[in-house]
């Protein structure tokens, strides 16, 4: 009988838990805003703080993964730090307490993201085949489950405290099962000359830009797809939500298949074809004005963007010039910047032109991914 509790299983669980944490938080943001009577400006400020603390944590956890081992940091942070991150939010009894809790949440969520990707890169190397895309598929699955459970409990009027307590206990029990999974991670002595914030260098800089372009596109679709469909088609909010739904389903499906495709064609060819698919989807979005082709367009963009970030993390984890924790942290810093900047950039263009005009950014991003795809090959450095 094959052993189930392998390092690959453990990494998959951590990715799913990290996704579920994000989905849980996102599903109850409206309730948290109501509990603390937050204005849109204050809510936006809190979300910004969560993002900013994540960016800082990328470098801290990346360096910790290098020094103590990615498996060591990933397992302990997931078991001990992730469950209480949402407990702090649920039981915050003032705006100050909530602010501190959100900063902690953002830092832990972002930090574990770097550590688990570093461990994933090691597991991928030991298996001698692409695995990163399937790990990221588990993140997407976890996020969907977390958000779906949140919607279900909110519909049944279960409060945030009860909801987050249940999820916290479940996360602790699930992750406790991977604590004893054996794995010897690579370690490296602390470099005292290294900058506090990890910055991509050399050929890794191009990889970081590809990550930035992919995450910028993903953030734009996540925040603006519904408004785009309402603007172009004058449809209701329910139908408009289908754009991101189709995008997400296709992204998850592609990530499940991504490792096999990457194994067959190689990372650079896979990224090249992915950029082409996203480009076709973007052109469809800007050409047609009926629901079905627009949903096809969003679906193709989801298929095209899905494997880019997993390929970029895999490439960073195998960089010969930077240690894997620091390399992945540097990629994550710029990539997360795309998720933060993308929606703002689209909104700015839409404000001075139109929402449809702002979506011209998508084919440009897809084309840039297509042109820079060769840098994702491990042989490119």
Looking at residue 371, what is its pLDDT? 95
Answer yes or no: is pLDDT of 196 > 60.
no
At which of 159, 176, 193 does a domain end?
176
Position 77 pLDDT exceeds 80: yes
**For 225-230, which contacts have Cβ atoms below 8 Å and span 24 or more sequence positions?**
225/298, 227/355, 228/285, 228/355, 228/356, 228/359, 229/291, 229/294
For residue 199, is it within any domain? no
Which tens digit of pLDDT belongs to each residue from 19-61? 899 888 878 887 888 899 988 778 878 877 888 888 888 888 9
Residue where a domain stops, chosen among 124, 156, 176: 176
Based on the fold, state whether residues 141 and 259 are members of the same structural domain.
Answer: no
Claim to verify: residue 39 and residue 86 sit in the same structural domain: yes
Residue 114: inside a domain: yes
132, 15: one domain: yes
CA atoms within 13 A on the CB side of 63: 14
Mean pLDDT of 207-219: 89
pLDDT value of residue 335: 75
Question: What region does 188 belong to: left with phi over 0, alpha with psi -120 to 50, or beta?
Answer: beta
In the prediction, which pLDDT does 359 show? 93
Q: What's the rounded mean pLDDT across residues 235-249? A: 83
Same domain (yes/no): 168, 222: no
Flag whether 194 is in a domain. Answer: no
- 80 and 152 share a domain? yes
- Rounded CA-CA distance 121/310 in Å is 10
Both 223 and 360 in one domain: the answer is yes
Distance CA 57, CA 203 (A): 24
Q: Considering the domain boundaries, does residue 363 fall inside one?
A: yes
How many domains are contained in the chain?
2
Residues 228 and 144 both lie in one domain: no
- CATH number for the domain harbouring residue 265: 1.20.1250.20
Range of the domain at 266: 204-380
- Closest-CA residue to 364 (of 340, 376, 347, 346): 346
Please determine, for residue 175, whether its predicted confidence score (pLDDT) is greater than 80.
yes
Give the torsion through C-alpha atoms of 374, 308, 198, 49, to 10 deg: 150
281, 376: one domain: yes
Average pLDDT, the chain: 86
- Dig out the tokens for 7 from the structure: 């390092």
* pLDDT given for residue 1 in this prediction: 36
Within 10 angstroms of residue 228's Cβ, the number of other Cβ atoms is 23
For residue 146, name the pLDDT band (cuts at 50, 70, 90): confident
Average pLDDT value for residue range 255-280: 94
| Centroid of chain to Cα 167 | 20
Q: Are residues 72 and 143 in the same domain?
A: yes
Q: Which residues contact 206 (CB under 8 A, 6 or more apart)?
A: 372, 375
Distance CA 368, CA 370 (A): 5
Quick check: 8 and 131 in contact, CB under 8 A? yes
State the Cα–Cα distance between residues 93 and 95, nearest whole angstrom.
7
Give a yes or no: residue 189 inside a domain.
Answer: no
306 pLDDT higher than 60? yes
Say if residues 121 and 313 touch (Cβ distance below 8 Å). Answer: yes
Q: What's the rounded mean pLDDT across residues 353-379?
A: 90
> Are 102 and 171 within one domain?
yes
Expressed in percent and rounded to 5, the helix, strand and coil fractions of the chain are 80, 0, 20
- Whether residue 53 is contained in a domain is answered as yes
């Amino acid at each position: 009988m094959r052993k189930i509790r392998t390092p690959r299983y453990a990494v998959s669980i951590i990715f799913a838990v990290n996704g579920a944490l994000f989905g849980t938080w996102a599903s109850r943001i409206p309730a948290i805003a109501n509990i603390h009577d937050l204005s849109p400006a204050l809510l936006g400020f809190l979300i910004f703080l969560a993002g900013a603390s994540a960016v800082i944590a990328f470098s801290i956890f990346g360096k910790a993964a290098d020094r103590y081992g990615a498996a060591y940091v990933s397992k302990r942070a997931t078991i001990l730090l992730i469950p209480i991150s949402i407990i702090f939010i649920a039981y915050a009894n003032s705006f100050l307490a909530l602010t501190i809790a959100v900063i902690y949440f953002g830092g832990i969520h972002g930090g574990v993201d770097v550590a688990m990707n570093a461990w994933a890169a090691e597991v991928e190397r030991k298996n001698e085949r692409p695995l990163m895309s399937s790990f990221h598929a588990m993140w997407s699955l976890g996020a969907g489950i977390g958000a779906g459970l949140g919607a279900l409990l909110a519909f049944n009027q279960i409060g945030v405290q009860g909801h987050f307590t249940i999820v916290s206990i479940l996360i602790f029990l699930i992750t406790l099962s991977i604590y004893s999974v054996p794995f010897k991670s690579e370690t490296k002595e602390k470099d005292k000359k290294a900058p506090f914030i990890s910055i991509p260098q050399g050929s890794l800089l191009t990889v970081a830009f590809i990550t930035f372009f992919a995450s910028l596109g993903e953030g734009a679709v996540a925040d603006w797809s519904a408004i785009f469909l309402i603007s172009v088609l004058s449809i209701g909010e329910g139908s408009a939500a289908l754009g991101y739904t189709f995008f997400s389903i296709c992204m998850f499906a592609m990530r499940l298949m991504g490792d096999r495709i990457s194994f067959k064609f190689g990372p650079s060819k896979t990224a090249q074809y992915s950029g082409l698919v996203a480009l076709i989807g973007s052109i469809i979005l800007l050409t047609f004005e009926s629901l079905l082709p627009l949903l096809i367009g969003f679906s193709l963009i989801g298929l095209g963007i899905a494997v880019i970030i997993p390929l970029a993390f895999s490439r960073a984890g195998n960089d010969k010039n930077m240690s894997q924790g620091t390399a992945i942290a540097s990629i994550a810093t710029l990539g997360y910047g795309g998720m933060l900047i993308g929606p703002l950039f689209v909104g700015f263009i839409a404000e001075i032109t139109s929402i449809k005009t702002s979506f011209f950014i998508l084919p440009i991003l897809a084309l840039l991914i297509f042109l820079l795809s060769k840098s994702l090959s491990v042989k490119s450095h």
